[in-house]
């Protein structure tokens, strides 16, 4: 378990990557979270929202772009990950992160019935960003991302789960919590503030629930 005193120590060098997974009920939750992130966030953000598979840019880009101040881009094959950007993966392939901190898509079998699962993203990002990775699991059915958060934890990253009480659908955050890999269980309206504090190397405010 991570404590506020640990988070207040100077973090290792390098930019942060924030990976966010959401499914059913995710659009309103993501809008609220994105709106709470500052324009100068010292991190890159990847949002994987389960949706109907399609190879073209999603309406989700527009929705998230209007919700917050971070520029929203589709995560393209081979694209370099840059701080201060919010990336949305394609919905028909699994997104991964390469050792060179670039995006790469992989095709193949469905993972938990999904063509765009959070697990390959979380697992590959954990191997590259290690202690500079923050993984977040929001509302959704099923248990996607549960295997991924365990890899994040094993590599020294931090994991936040939305408090199931505040989630429209508790399946995904509850499964993540049951894995034992979650560091903080927070209501939706507290996650943005916690994210900002963590990547800026500041201690979390009192009242943040730990798992």
Please identify every residue annotated as catalytic: 23, 50, 144
Tell me the DSSP string of 120-154.
Answer: HHHHHHHHHHGGGEEEEE-S-SS-TTHHHHHHHHH
Sign of the alpha-carbon dihedral angle for 183, 161, 154, 201: negative
CA distance 79 to 59: 20
Confirm if 134 and 17 have CB atoms less than 8 A apart: yes
Strand, helix or coil for residue 30:
helix
Tell me the two tokens of residue 53: 């598979």
- Alpha-carbon dihedral of residues 58, 62, 63, 66, nearest 10 degrees? 170
Sheet with 209-210: list strands edge to edge.
72-74, 86-88, 43-49, 16-22, 133-137, 158-162, 184-186, 209-210
């Amino acid at each position: 378990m991570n404590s506020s005193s640990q988070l207040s120590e100077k973090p290792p060098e390098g930019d942060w990557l924030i990976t966010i997974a959401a499914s059913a009920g995710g659009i309103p939750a993501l809008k609220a979270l994105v709106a709470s992130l500052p324009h100068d966030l010292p991190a890159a953000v990847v949002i994987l929202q389960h949706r109907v598979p399609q190879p073209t840019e999603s309406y989700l880009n527009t929705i998230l772009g209007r919700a917050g101040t971070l520029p929203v881009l589709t995560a393209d094959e081979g694209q370099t990950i840059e701080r201060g950007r919010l990336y949305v993966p394609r919905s028909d392939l699994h997104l991964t992160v390469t050792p060179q901190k670039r995006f790469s898509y992989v095709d193949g079998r469905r993972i938990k019935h999904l063509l765009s699962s959070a697990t390959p993203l979380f697992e590959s990002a954990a191997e590259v960003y290690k202690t500079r990775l923050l993984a977040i699991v929001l509302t959704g059915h099923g248990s996607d991302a549960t295997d991924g958060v365990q890899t994040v934890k094993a590599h020294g990253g931090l994991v936040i789960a939305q408090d199931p009480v505040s989630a429209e659908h508790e399946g995904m955050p509850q499964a993540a919590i049951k894995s034992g890999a979650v560091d903080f269980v927070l209501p939706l309206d507290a996650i943005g503030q916690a994210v900002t504090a963590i990547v800026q190397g500041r201690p979390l405010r009192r009242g943040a629930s730990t798992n």
